[in-house]
Amino acid sequence: MAPSPTGFLHIGGVRTFLFNWLFARHHGGEFRLRIENTDTSREVAEAVEQIEESLRWLRLDWDGETTFQLDRMDDCRRVADQLVADGHAYEDEGAIRFRMPDEGVTAWDDAVRGRVEFPNDSLEDLVLVRSDGRPTYNFASPMEDVWDGITHVIRAEDHISNTPKQINIISAVGAALPVYAHVPNVNGADGKKLSKRHGATGVDEFRRAGYLPDALVNFLALLGWAPDGETTIMSRDELIERFSLERVTPSPAQFDYAKLDWMNGVYIRALPEDAFAHALILWLGEQGYEWDAVLVRKAAPLVQEKLSRLEEFPAYARFLFEDVQVDPAEIDGGAPVITAAKAALDGLEPFDAATIETALRGVVEELGLKPRQGFQPIRIAVTGSKISPGLFESIELLGRETTLARLSAAAS
RNA sequence: GGCGCAUUCGUCUAGUGGCCUAGGACACCGCCCUCUCACGGCGGCGGCACGGGUUCGAAUCCCGUAUGCGCCUCCA
């Protein structure tokens, strides 16, 4: 996998990454990370560290040291000189250009698309080495594939038209060709290249929004690939076991955020209670919340089946950590039930969810209210919101003192 | 404009000539469950881009058209 260090790792790039990783792990091969930094003018500081950090977060591990294209500048220049000497290339205004054949076709058997052919007369003589001495991507990339012993080049479909050029270069130096596999692009909802206006695009943004790495990996794997028509939820091991390039579809996919949200919810719910609490605490820490971890741990089971993203947690649980603002208009005639609830809870023993539920149901029944009519004003008074975790569990966690104070404030 | 790639429900896809009056999942709609939200259960809506061929038979094979996308940089 060969990203260029121009910023955060793009989610489309991750999908290509993932296919490479799954293929390598499935076959017990090696998965290499190479940074294509020949265009020094576009390089962004820290980008390499961010890319590596994103991959670690996703748990997509690579083999060996990360290599840098720029480190092979001298080797590339030597090859270019040799190509000139052999008549495969020539000098042009200080640069070195490769002489493309102008008859026949250049073709390969793409592992995803089958046979692809380009007429050679449509291939232009491309620059191998710029006039400032730096090799270009289309020269350095195939040469590194050769030097690194790359057997399979798995990349996005926008590289299809680069492939015949690279094939001709590799052929000219007399090396063996790798297998090429061009996987489909990932687009936004309008069929255009996935960009900011479609939503999150950087791995860091997905992390901040509270997506689980496993869910993201599972979702991405299904963009352009399916093991069959039925299976959607798959562990990493199952993904590795079942992945094959033959089953990658050639047509572009659109990134469906709604489906990702659903899948992330599936993964959140499947987490053991401890692991979910741990993920929550970690995420809150990363986002700068200073909420008590013990209380977060207790609140976690109340919300686990409600969340599709970790970032939804604060909206549900804020009332446990901070004071609430109650809009009197929302109480809307609920003062009697709030007052009665306060009386019922005062002195109630034990102060646990089951006992609280019995007491409050009694209050509601006595006032002749339907459960939903009766509980809603209490919920708003206690949590400050019309939407909350289970009322009785919430009150237990909040504690008697705070609950009574909030009920008093709302009833007055 | 040239070259290339692609085209099954709104979306992700299954389908490799008869098993397809096209299956699954997300989304959407309805009902049920229910203290809100969510989860869960049940049901519904909805698709082979178009036109020719090949064949006893085509979503599946061939040709053309249309549309979308990519590349055509001394970017990667």
Q: How confident is the model at residue A176 (pLDDT cuts 50, 70, 90)?
A: very high
A393 touches strand B (CB under 7 A): yes
Average pLDDT, integer, range A161-187: 97
Q: Is A193 helix (H, G, I), strand (E, B) or coil?
A: strand
Comparison of pLDDT for A195 and A311, the residue scoring more: A311
* B chain positions with any atom within 7 Å of a protein CB: 2-8, 10-16, 23-27, 34-40, 68-76
Q: What pLDDT score was predicted for residue A307?
A: 98
Q: Is A412 exposed, middle or buried (0-12, 13-18, 19+ CB in 10 A)?
A: exposed
At a CB cut-off of 8 Å and minimum separation 6, what does A244 contact?
A: A23, A26
Q: Is A114 exposed, middle or buried (0-12, 13-18, 19+ CB in 10 A)?
A: exposed
Q: Is the pLDDT of residue A91 over 80?
A: yes
Q: Please give the DSSP secondary-structure letter assigned to residue A46.
A: T
A371 touches strand B (CB under 7 A): yes
A130 touches strand B (CB under 7 A): yes
Q: Could you report the per-residue pLDDT of A75-88, keeping only the tens digit for each?
A: 999 999 999 999 99
In whole angstroms, what is the distance from residue A21 CA to residue A5 CA?
A: 19
Q: What pLDDT score was predicted for residue A165?
A: 97
Rg (CA), chain A: 30
A155 touches strand B (CB under 7 A): no
Which pair of structure tokens corresponds to residue A330?
A: 């929302």
Q: What pLDDT score was predicted for residue A358?
A: 97
Q: Is the pLDDT of residue A28 over 80?
A: yes
Distance A365 CA to B38 C1' (A): 26
Q: Could you report the per-residue pLDDT of A244-276, keeping only the tens digit for each?
A: 999 999 999 999 999 999 999 999 999 999 999
Amino acid type, A212: L
Q: What pLDDT score was predicted for residue A209?
A: 97
Q: Which of residues 29-58 of A touch strand B (CB under 7 A)?
A: 36-39, 42
Distance A325 CA to B68 C1' (A): 51
Q: What pLDDT score was predicted for residue A81?
A: 97
ipTM of the complex: 0.96
Q: How confident is the model at residue A43 (pLDDT cuts 50, 70, 90)?
A: confident
Q: Could you report the per-residue pLDDT of A368-388, keeping only the tens digit for each?
A: 999 999 999 999 999 999 999
Average pLDDT, integer, range A19-27: 98
Q: Are A196 and A155 in contact (CB under 8 A)?
A: no
At a CB cut-off of 8 Å and minimum separation 6, what does A9 contact?
A: A3, A17, A50, A51, A54, A55, A202, A203, A204
Query: How confident is the prediction for chain A on average, in pLDDT?
Result: 95
In whole angstroms, what is the distance from residue A94 CA to residue A76 CA?
A: 16
A120 touches strand B (CB under 7 A): no
Which pair of structure tokens corresponds to residue A405?
A: 């104070």
At a CB cut-off of 8 Å and minimum separation 6, what does A383 contact?
A: A319, A324, A394
Q: Please give the DSSP secondary-structure letter assigned to residue A71.
A: G
Mark A50-72 as b/e (b = at least 16 C-beta within 10 Å). bbebbbeebebebeeeebbbbeb
A358 touches strand B (CB under 7 A): no
Q: What pLDDT score was predicted for residue A328?
A: 83
Q: What pLDDT score was predicted for residue A197?
A: 82
Q: How confident is the model at residue A45 (pLDDT cuts 50, 70, 90)?
A: confident
A327 touches strand B (CB under 7 A): no
List strand residue ranges (DSSP E) for A188-243, in order: none
Question: Which nucleotide is the nearest neighbour of A370, by CA and C1'?
Answer: B35
Q: What pLDDT score was predicted for residue A59?
A: 97
Q: Considering the candidates A196, A259, A342, A370, report the single residue annotated as catalytic.
A: A196
Q: Is the pLDDT of residue A332 over 80?
A: no
Instruction: Say if strands A95-98 and A89-92 run parallel, antiparallel, or are unpaired.
Output: antiparallel
Concerning whether A342 is annotated as a catalytic residue, the answer is no
Q: Could you report the per-residue pLDDT of A209-252, keeping only the tens digit for each?
A: 999 999 999 999 999 999 999 999 999 999 999 999 999 999 99
Q: How confident is the model at residue A306 (pLDDT cuts 50, 70, 90)?
A: very high
